[in-house]
Chain A
Amino acid sequence: MRRSAPRRSAGYSLIEMALAMALTLGIAAAIVALLQQQVSFTRVLGRFHFLREEAPQINSLLATLVNKADSYRIYGSHAQAVAATGATTHDGRALRLRFRNPDGTASHAIVAFETQDGQNRLNFYFRNETQTTWPGTPSWTISSVPTLVDFSNDTGILLVAMTGPNGEQITYAGNPQ
């Protein structure tokens, strides 16, 4: 005589199911938390992008330019730098550079922080020795990431203070020849 197995043991009890669901939910919650942690970490890394990569590159480029110049002037705006009027020692938004050529002539350049098409840009304008007027459009854009670039010379040295999109700030010094 064979007894069949109890019917109750064929499935899972309510307690077993509840326990399994609770544990599954716990695992799912842990995975979501892990994901959130990774997302926040990526966001934190992204917020440092300006200080880590952009600002040093801008500084490297500006240092090369300024070191090649034999003189510079700071102006409140690109327009003032073009007109060469209203030179200042602080709150500058444009830097006018003069490069002396081997034949005695001079080329000029303007590095200007300005807003174009609603976007902040650090632009570079170049006027060679044969040109009598400045180009209307930038020769190239150095960067469009900084929210503010401030040129100053209060202490006798050229300071370039760059502010990034998250309020971060770094100040570089540059000296012409």
Chain B
Amino acid sequence: MRAPHRSHSRKRERGSALIEISMSYATLVIISLLTLKASLNATAGQAWTVKQAMSDAYITRESALASRIPFEAITGSSSLWPPHPSISTSTVAIGRLPGGQVVNATIHRTRIPDTNNLPAAGGTGTAVSNPTGSEAWKLQSILAYQVGDRQYVKSRTILRIR
């Protein structure tokens, strides 16, 4: 009378093997999903770091340019920084990713006059408030770029006086 019992036990063993294999598959799927998620997270973090470095480098260039450019070029008709509220907008390449893919960003520039500038220089100053006719401009550059689906902005303002 033991034979039927053994047969029943073997059936259960065979069934358990199937469950074990299914569990292995499920475990593998979970592990692969977790590693995929970790990889995506790490890659996204890396893209963020790299684009931050590139945008930092570009905005440093912008500051250096604003500090160095001759005053005549700032206030001239073809100035890179048009008088506020006009804004010049252009797409610039801030770097290249491995493989040579260009990373683009948008630069917005404008210049804001000091209120004590004489009217000819965009201000409301008078010969009394500004007897020397000094002229001050805030050169503002705003760099907008995208990492993933988020947009970031960096700005630098340089004061130029003469």
List the interface of chain A (C-beta within 8 A of B).
Answer: 2-5, 9, 16, 20, 23, 26-27, 30-31, 33-34, 37-38, 41, 44-45, 47-48, 50-52, 55-56, 59, 155-159, 163-164, 166-175
Contact = CB atoms under 8 A, between A and B. Distances in A.
Main secondary structure of the interface of B (DSSP, over half): helix
A175 B95 contact: no
A5 B9 CA distance: 13
Contacts, number: 108
Nearest to B22: A23
Interface string B35-65: 1100100110010011001100110110111
Interface residues of B, number: 39
A31 B28 contact: yes
Interface string B57-97: 11011011101110000000000000000000000000111
Contact of B46 (A48, A167, A173): A48
B25 A171 contact: no
B153 interface: no
A52 B53 CA distance: 8
Contact of A173 (B25, B42, B61, B69): B61
Give the 4 A-B residue pairs with the shortest CB-CB distance, closest first.
A166-B98, A173-B61, A169-B96, A167-B100
20 contacts: A4-B3, A5-B3, A9-B7, A20-B17, A31-B28, A34-B28, A34-B31, A37-B35, A38-B35, A41-B42, A44-B43, A51-B98, A52-B49, A55-B53, A156-B69, A164-B98, A170-B57, A170-B95, A171-B57, A171-B61
Contacts of B61: 157, 159, 171-173
B131 interface: no
Contact of A170 (B31, B43, B46, B53): B53
B65 A155 contact: yes
B35 A48 contact: no
